Amino acid sequence: MPNNVKDIRERTFDFALRIIKLCYELNRRPGICREMSRQLLRAGTSVGANAEEAQAAQSKADFISKNSIALKEARETHYWLRLLIGANVMPEKRLAELRDEAEELKRILGSIVVSAKRNRSL
């Protein structure tokens, strides 16, 4: 199934798996890589956890809240990926697809939040 038609829960789950694999690789390195890996792991896996929780929201407000948190975590994950590239911890070529997916998830989740807020007022 192409990424553009994949369910947000599946897409964020796949994203989290890729983040876990990257963090496993980072944790094998000493020093700053381990610290950055911890931050990246928390944010990158939280995107999917919150998107999943949003599907069982108890109200429209809860749905918006969970997706808003997922969006914030996607933004943070994108930041850590950019930082890894910018600090030359990992080559851009290695992280470009993951960084681009984080950017796309930000757009999708942002759209979900905006749409839900708009529909709430109708």
Instruction: Check: pTM over 0.85? Answer yes or no.
Output: yes
Q: Is 88 left (phi over 0), alpha (psi -120 to 50) or beta?
A: left
* Number of domains the chain is built from: 1
Question: What CATH number corresponds to the domain at position 37?
Answer: 1.20.1440.60
pLDDT in tens, the chain (122 residues): 444 446 999 999 999 999 999 999 999 998 889 999 999 999 999 999 999 999 999 999 999 999 999 999 999 999 999 999 999 999 999 999 999 999 999 999 999 999 999 987 65
Question: How remote is the C-alpha of 65 from its chain's centroid?
Answer: 16
**Can you give the residue range of the structural domain that contains 55?**
3-120
Q: What is the DSSP letter of 90?
A: S
